[in-house]
A = this chain, B = another copy of it.
C-alpha cells in the first residue's frame, strides 16, 4: 500500500486528487497540506512516528512557500520520499527548477486518474520518472536546445512551441523591440486595436499576462 500525501492550496484540487487516490487500488491518502510550509510541518510530525508518505503530489504555485522550494528542502531531509509535481501550466522554467530540486515527475493536473495512479506506481516500483507527454516534449526541447545553442529557424520555434501565427510573431517582434501598440500598428499598417487583439491572443498562448513576461519568453528562447 503506497502512502500518498497531497499538497495544494486550493481545496477543490485537494478534494479532486484525494478522490482520485481513494478510487485507485494499492494506495491510500496519508495527509493533505495547503502549502509548502505546512507540508514541511506535517512531515516533522511524521518524523515523530516514523510514518512518512511514500509519494507526495505537490502543486507548484502556492502561497507562503511554493512547491519547488518545498521539494528542495524536503528532498534533503527525506531523500527516500518521491515527489511528483502537479501543475496547470507547462512552464519551461518551472519544469527545469522542479527537476533540479529533485522531483521525480512533472504532471499536468488535467491528467486522468489512471495516468496519475500509473505514475505513482511507476515511481515507487521502478524508480522511473513520470512526465506528461507535453512536459516530456519540453524536456526534450530543452535538452536539444542546450546542445545546439544556435537554432537555424528562430521564428519557426515560436510557432512550433506555442502555435503562434505569423502575424502574432510579427507583433511579438515589435514588443521585444520595445514598441507600444501604436508603433507596432504603424509598422504593420494595422490599427492599434488590432495589435491589442493579437497581443491578447499571444498572452493566452504563452500563458502570460504582461508585456514583460511575453518578451522574457521570446528573449530566453532566442526567438529574435
Point out residues on A near B: beta carbons under 8 Å. Answer: 96, 99-100, 122, 126-134, 136-137, 139-140, 142-144, 146-148, 160, 175-176, 178, 208, 210-213, 215-216, 219-220
Given A136-B131, A137-B129, the answer on whether A176 and B99 have CB atoms closer than 8 Å is: no
CB-CB < 8 A to A213: which residues of B?
178
Residues of A contacting B: mostly? helix
CB-CB < 8 A to A137: which residues of B?
127-129
Among all A-B residue pairs, the 6 with the closest Cβ atoms:
A128-B133, A129-B137, A129-B136, A99-B144, A178-B213, A131-B136
Number of copies: 2
A184 to chain B, nearest CB (A): 12
A220 to B136, CA, bound (A): 24
Contact A146 B144 (CB under 8 A): no
Of the candidates B143, B160, B176, B178, the one whose C-beta lies within 8 Å of that of A96 is B143
Given A211-B211, A213-B178, A219-B220, the answer on whether A128 and B139 have CB atoms closer than 8 Å is: no
Which residue on B lies nearest to A95, using beta carbons?
Answer: B143
Of the candidates B129, B143, B178, the one whose C-beta lies within 8 Å of that of A212 is B178
Give 29 CB contacts A-B under 8 Å: A96-B147, A99-B143, A100-B144, A100-B147, A100-B148, A122-B133, A126-B133, A128-B137, A129-B134, A129-B136, A129-B139, A129-B140, A130-B133, A130-B136, A139-B140, A142-B143, A143-B143, A175-B212, A176-B212, A178-B210, A178-B212, A178-B213, A178-B216, A211-B211, A211-B212, A212-B215, A215-B215, A215-B216, A216-B219
Which residue on B lies nearest to A156, using beta carbons?
Answer: B79
Of the candidates B96, B129, B160, the one whose C-beta lies within 8 Å of that of A133 is B129
A26 to B83, CA, bound (A): 35
CB-CB < 8 A to A146: which residues of B?
146
Which residue on B lies nearest to A132, using beta carbons?
Answer: B128
